[in-house]
Every structure is written in structure tokens, then in C-alpha cells.
Structure 1
Amino acid sequence: MALDDTTEELARDAAQGDHRSLGELLRRIEPDVLRHCAKFLPYHQDAEEACQDTLLAVARNIGRFEGRARFSTWLHIVTANCARTTYRTLKRRAAEQASEDLPDLRADPGRVSVIAGYRLDLLDAMEALEADKPDLAQALVLRDICQLDYNQVAEQLGIPLGTAKSRIHQARKYVQGILGDAYGPLA
């Protein structure tokens, strides 16, 4: 999400408690947040749910935005976390539905689209990484999902550049191992 300078300024004003700036900020970022959520979640309704959760999280937590990094960086992290949380909730609901022997009203995303199935498997792999090695997961999200450069990742995490690169490399190997089991060797 590349946000213009006006949006960055709105975020700084909103963080200082300006409610009008917050309203305008939320209006401006909504389309980008929805597009970003759709990268995580293959169903439009699920992406919309994650988008609304993200906007709510921004509104609730904007006071925590300190302005040390760009707002777009902070927003990427909030969006990724909300999308993953939405995914976990949907996964839990599906498991509960399956345990109640109710018919599944959704099509299997693995059958509907190879891309959609791969996205869900990637989310499962990210969830496993987060549970097992959260420091690696955070670095991977910043680099490969938020598309920050290595220096920005190191700065965001408050670690040396070499450590950031190492964590990203280890995280990629971890995820590739999980996806390799599902899809065969990854190039």
C-alpha cells in the first residue's frame, strides 16, 4: 500500500486525536485495505470482513501510531494481522461446523481455484510459523507481504540488518518446507 503524503499527514493528525482526520483517513485507506485483504483471503466476503476489522483496529489503535515509520508500514502490519485473524476465525468456524455434521455451504477453495487453495495453504503455513517461531513470522510478513526492504524490516523490528535477513531466510525455508509437503518440491 503506497499512500500519498496527505494520507500520511492525516494519520499523524489522527494519532494526535483529530477525529475528522481519522474519519477521512479511514475513508481514504479502505479501498487499499480491501485489496490487501483480498491477497490473503480468496472469498470477497471474507476479505470485506477482514477489511472492516482492519479499519476498526486502525480507529481503536491510531493513538499507538508513533510516526517513527511511515503510516503505510504500520497499516500493512495491522492489515496482515487482521486478515490472518479473520482466517483463523473462519477456520475455527469451519471446524465447528464440521464437528456438528452440518453441510458445508462454501465450495472447497482448493477445487474452485488452485490460486485460492494455495493462498489458504500459505495462510496455514504462516499460522504454523507464527505459532512455532513468531519472530521469524513477523520478519517474513514485513518483507514478503508488506514488501518492505530489508533495511526497513530491520528498523521496524529494532534488529541488525544481518539478523533481519537471517530471520527472513529461515522463515522462507520453514514455509517452503510446509508447502513442499503439500505441493511437492518448490523451486
Structure 2
Amino acid sequence: MTTEGLTPDETDELARRARDGDRDALEALLSAVRPRTLNVCRGVLPHSSDAEDACQEALLNVATKIGQWGGRGRFTTWLHVVAVNSARTTYRRLKNQAVATDTPQLERPDPRTTSVIAGTRLDLLEAMETIERDHPQFVEPLLLRDVYGMSYEEIAQHVGAPLGTVKAQIHHGRKLVRPLLRGTP
């Protein structure tokens, strides 16, 4: 059973009905997946209010873009990616706002001595932002695998790439991220 007592097949069926224009199904779907969406956002953003904002953005994206879910894979896989992207967008927005306020820059936490809750996830987001500039193909598979624990097969299906390609992208992405997490260029 998934969140709110729906099986994966029931969730997919509700999503199909919502995608086909059933407003009641859409409302039921959004209610059913909200806890899962919030948990994904909390996995990226350590502050509850920021995670709530990202969750709301993700649910709005689900409501307005559900037609983009092709129905080939599980709805929850598509939802997961929407939630991750919303959390990353929220992070970027917050980061830009912080820079715009011209506050003094705080020293970056050292991931070797900082707890996961206190800041390592933010270091990971910074690392992802850095590698995304030159290697965008590595970011999504790496986040989905190493942060959210999705299987290689689910990731391959979602991104529409062969399994071997996805594994190689994750391997190369890890090689690029490691030095950034250690605080070295």
C-alpha cells in the first residue's frame, strides 16, 4: 500500500482519470500524493517552510501538467521527478534572494563535519548546480539514484535511456560530485 492507502495500480488509475479531465480524480490524487511529495521536498530542503513551498509548487505542476505524464511508467516515478525539480527550483530562488539581499556570506559548512540535517544536503545542491552547467545529463539520474534511492530501471524508464547509459551517467556524475562535496574545486 502507498500513502493514503492506495496501491500503485490504484494511484496510476486515479492519475489516468485525472489526466483525462476528471476533476474529482485530480483532487483525490493531489490529496493522496501530498504526503509523499512533501517528503521528497524535505529530502532536498532542510527547512520545513521551504519544503512546504516546494511541495505546493510541485502539486501545482502536477495539476497543470498531468497531461505530460505518458502513463508508460508509474505515476509516482513521474511525481518524484516533478517534486525534485520543484525543490531544486525553490532552492535556486531562495539562493538568488539571499544573494540579492546583499547579506554577508556565511562560511560554507564542511560536509566532513556537518550533519546531514544541518547542511550537507545544501552542499549537495551546490555541487549539482556546479556540474549541471557543464554536464546536465548527469544531474537528474544522480539525484534520483543517490538521494532518492530509485532503482536504475525506474530511472532508465523515466529518462528514456538504456539502462547501461543511466548507470554510466550516475558513475560519471559521482566522480564529478565527490570533489565538490569535499570542499575542493
Distance 1:108 1:48, change over 3 A: farther
> Which of the numbers 88, 95, 99 marks the counterpart of 2:92?
88
**Contact conserved, 2:77 with 2:154, CA < 8 A, in 1?**
no
Give the partner amino acid of 1:114: S
Tell me how far apart the structure 2 counterparts of residues 12 and 146 of structure 1 sit (CA, whole Å). 24
**Contact conserved, 2:78 with 2:158, CA < 8 A, in 1?**
no
1:29 aligned residue: 33
Alpha-carbon offset, residue 173 of structure 1: 1.1
SS of 1:156's equivalent? helix
Deviation string for 1:124-180 (max 9, x for gaps)?
111112222111112212322342222222222222222111110001111112112
> Which of the numbers 139, 142, 146 marks the counterpart of 2:141?
139
Identical-pair percentage:
46
2:115 aligned residue: 114
2:79 aligned residue: 75
Tell me how far apart the structure 1 counterparts of residues 92 and 181 of structure 2 sit (CA, whole Å). 18
Aligned residues: 175
- Across the aligned residues of Structure 1 and Structure 2, the Cα RMSD in angstroms comes to 2.3
Deviation string for 1:72-106 (max 9, x for gaps)?
10001000000000000000000011x2x5x89xx
Tell me how far apart the structure 2 counterparts of residues 82 and 119 of structure 1 sit (CA, whole Å). 15
Q: List runs of 5+ in structure 2 lacking aligned partners.
A: none
> TM-score, structure 1 length as denominator?
0.85
Q: List runs of 5+ in structure 1 lacking aligned partners.
A: 183-187
Tell me how far apart the structure 2 counterparts of residues 110 and 44 of structure 1 sit (CA, whole Å). 20
Deviation string for 1:18-70 (max 9, x for gaps)?
11100011111111111111110011100000000000010010011110110
> Which of the numbers 162, 167, 170 marks the counterpart of 2:169?
167
1:180 aligned residue: 182
My pick for the range that moved more, 51-60 or 122-131, is: 122-131
SS of 2:91's equivalent? helix
1:48 aligned residue: 52
> TM-score, structure 2 length as denominator?
0.86
Tell me how far apart the structure 1 counterparts of residues 120 and 19 of structure 2 sit (CA, whole Å). 37
1:185 aligned residue: none
Distance 1:114 1:18, change over 3 A: same
Give the partner amino acid of 1:166: A
SS of 1:181's equivalent? coil
